[in-house]
Structure 1
């Protein structure tokens, strides 16, 4: 009978053969305990190595043995250095002695604790001294170093669950519920909505279940917001939001919609985004939004922003916080009247605002600089860029650039070379004749990262004609204040990882809404046709396509598979992960 063998193929990237010759063995015994003797360095695969020889062993437990190790001399942090070594005692002809030949496993030599690999009990000293391999106080050990290439591996593609459910939403195949939102109709799948949203689950399957009406009416929400909400429910992907006013309004409505339907991950995403889009025009709306939808980090970011502003601006904001801007529609489950309820929020002057208990942004330094343009018409005729005197903030030197064409432009410039970028936010305010900021002419930048000669500001701060026709230009003079806030860190909300797999895993475990059963080796498994068809083209054909099983209520028989394997298959279909072995 023929014997069978298995083999592992190793592709060698580099190898080296080095002989450690111990000429004067008796003298090496005089070396102190635990002090190795090293060979000359040698090179392999672009790295430097040597062999360490311990004549008295490397530990007290092997003091009667000789220890031999291969050592990587280089300190490597960017990559793993994988190698294995063969140590052989050589006979007088230079041939390896099989009895004293040892092989290490493939090891990573680049770790701080693993740069030396070998054998503590390579050979007992008395055995060496009695052997023919110690001749004229001389013996030799060969070290054969092999550095392999990476093992061949199968490239596993990333999870495609979101693509499968995205295709299901686009195709509308198997939809069983419709929504009417701002005159636009949307088709969806009850099972998917219920798996992803506890609110939809209650509305579609629970005690508050909607009747069998043609379409469910969704009030107080724009169609584009509901469309984005559906896309997130199916794919766990949210639309990117830009910096325009319309985009910020979209983000605010998506946050409210996410809170309305219990989509906490989506809510955290847009809370984090809105923390970086707070300015004098939006801070009051953001505060009300944060209060109504329990967004602690957004509220803290608003407080931090307000603490960096001058008292006159805060007073103007305080007087207008319940003004027309707060009458914009922001949807929520508690706001069916399409209006933001009045909330008792008052903005305190900057000096009176206590620091947030766990603010994500810490103000490191702030400075207020007034740029006076005395001789406006002369600067206009010069038709050139002017710069202010330098001023200091946060240990750095700054100046302001002023330019006038059809628009008046202002920019803040960092003059210093810095090792790390400086995070800062700037508020430019036109001053009235009493030296107070004009709220309608106050503009705040986003948080920016400043480096040498980088500048941030406003190209169209004010139209030249508007300034010239205003009362703020008097006797050919006007002034602008620049308030700089230097921060450590940026407002951030910890967004949890995708929970798409866990939602469908819970659906599989609960068996709620299951509409198909499989019999596998005497064991029954309940599942959902929609999920199986979305994830597997074969199940789709068998359950909905030309290979569709009959409408019998009996379980579908699976004959050529173990129950344990089928269970693992279902877990992967629902969660895109394999069960732990």
Structure 2
């Protein structure tokens, strides 16, 4: 990158300065000619071209002339190779160009005056920069790229195939001028305005009675954020008396947090470690109840980050009831660890999990089976404690299957 700095006085570096930044934007294309021998005799000035490729905001293509672009005065036939600017430009285009041939092993061979030489690994050979003028297509290349007979006698044509790699580097210049006058833009306060609207109750047209507390809100805002509220207020089955609504089975602080998120799209306190997991669990259930997907995902991520022995079972039950796949898999993996399993099983939350979500116990068994020590009898005893009496047959089946697999393995080794 080249930087040209203009200053009024070199002894006063604090003066305004303009910076010119010049960089090269590179791109490459391969033209593989299969059946090379069949291209001879196409005629002077006729070529095979690659698909157009874009570099530096311009379209380019490779053009290969098997019989040459022009007749040579000596009578020899030279193949011609060019890179052509396909798209028209309004300004000068400056660029670097590279033309190499690839052998069957992918090695690069570049043109010299009398022969081709193999390029060292990770090295580049580029010619230029050249300037292509506006007003038409620009072409850069070699009319006498190489004598055809010598090219065909080289190792660069294998199985009647010739592979050409051409690269383009477009030179771009930009200027950074000093900004004499700057004025910082004000930050958005839309969220604060909506929170103020919620708190001052101005224009409210609906109220909610939740756990002995009353909250005032605006139907239009609630309907915009929640499909459930939209159907309740404006759908075909809307409630006729929707001025005052009683919310059952929800705590007032949870509903307050739900309204706050609806109005300003953020729950600041949820990011604090002091906010307990139980509050987050209740808020996730409320978000699912009113189909506020962003809040549901936010709570799910928060619960995944704060998995703990005393709350993991209740979080697993919550994940099962509300379809939280990520939270569910995280809880199963946490409980399935041998160091956590027995401790979690002693919690009240695990006892409630066995009663409320019996299906998830079988999934827990699979998780334990993947993480546990199958060779230990005590492992099966611990697993059996997970299940109700009717499910312990599954543990016996797993134990017999593992023992059988071990026997087969020993028999195979013998």
TM-score tier (shorter): 0.3 to 0.5
TM-score (norm 1): 0.33
**Higher RCO (CA 8 Å, separation ≥ 6 residues):** 2
Between Structure 1 and Structure 2, the one with more helix by share is: 2
TM-score, structure 2 length as denominator?
0.45
